[in-house]
Amino acid sequence: MKLALVGDIGGTNARFALWRDEQLESVRVLATADYPGPEAAIRAYLAELGLPLGAVDSVCLACAGPVSGDEFRFTNNHWRLSRAGFCRELQVRELLLINDFSAMALGMTRLREDERVLVCPGEPEANRPCVVIGPGTGLGVGTLLALDDGSWLALPGEGGHVDLPIGSPREAELWQQLYLMLGHVRAEDVLSGNGLLLLYRAICALDGHEARLSSPAEVTAAALNGDEVALGVLEQFCCWLGRAAGNNVLSLGGRGGVYIVGGVVPRFAELFLASGFARSFRDKGVMSAYFEGIPVWLVTAEYPGLMGAGVALQQALGSR
């Protein structure tokens, strides 16, 4: 491959890097609000590095939402692009668009040992799917499969939009409160950054507390400072994440292991490790024994989505 560019584009930030010799170089983070579209952001990125148009031969962009056809509209920011127009404007030969959690899943294949923390001990089973799940702006869910030729297959999906699972009378009461606030209750409605605040408000309404906190960051900070209500919010968040992760393991036969990713959980990693996540992960009645030996890791890598975009590009174009 010649010089390539990879991007991981979210609602607030777009992360770009060069991909050379199967490694990331020159990572930059740009605010999506500062640019009318991805072409303008990439022009600015290349200009900062002193690279002219045409210096990059191929591009892979990891984007939230299903990707197909020539036209793509980003689901969580104002950007949109035409594949043909993008390649023409930036003088790029190849553009690969992939689902953001496909990129995240592929990024797990390049993790160093110091970029993940063991949550549940076990040994991954060869040739079985891995589950990649992560609360961030939304809730992403991906599946990773090792193929016989040594390459990897990431299956895109919209698993964050499944119904929120209920596993106890307390959760049933909370679900009713959330239903009054939202109507249909998705896993993503709770298991996301904004979901932390929604869950806080639901718990306050249910238990008769004054809702004094007004942002996810305030809820996290209050919990880290010992606030009992906020601690209860994070505990319930972790338990629901465990139930959602366990449901995906059962659906996919995910005995290859589970990776917890995204920007939310690492902010309260110690509380997460001490929480009821592991108990809720395995709490499946007659199928609870199925979870024996399935490892779970909390991923702390800084740019796994960018790395996964590079892996996707390498697999798609490396043989050419």
Q: In the structure encoding, which two tokens stand for residue 245, read together?
A: 């992760």
**Is 183 annotated for ligand binding?**
no
Cα–Cα distances in angstroms (integers) from residue 25 to residues 54, 88, 175, in the given order: 18, 24, 45
The answer to whether the beta carbons of residues 93 and 87 sit under 8 Å apart is: yes
**Is 8 annotated for ligand binding?**
yes
**Is 143 annotated for ligand binding?**
no
**Is 12 annotated for ligand binding?**
yes
Binding residues: 7-12
Binding residues for ATP: 7-12
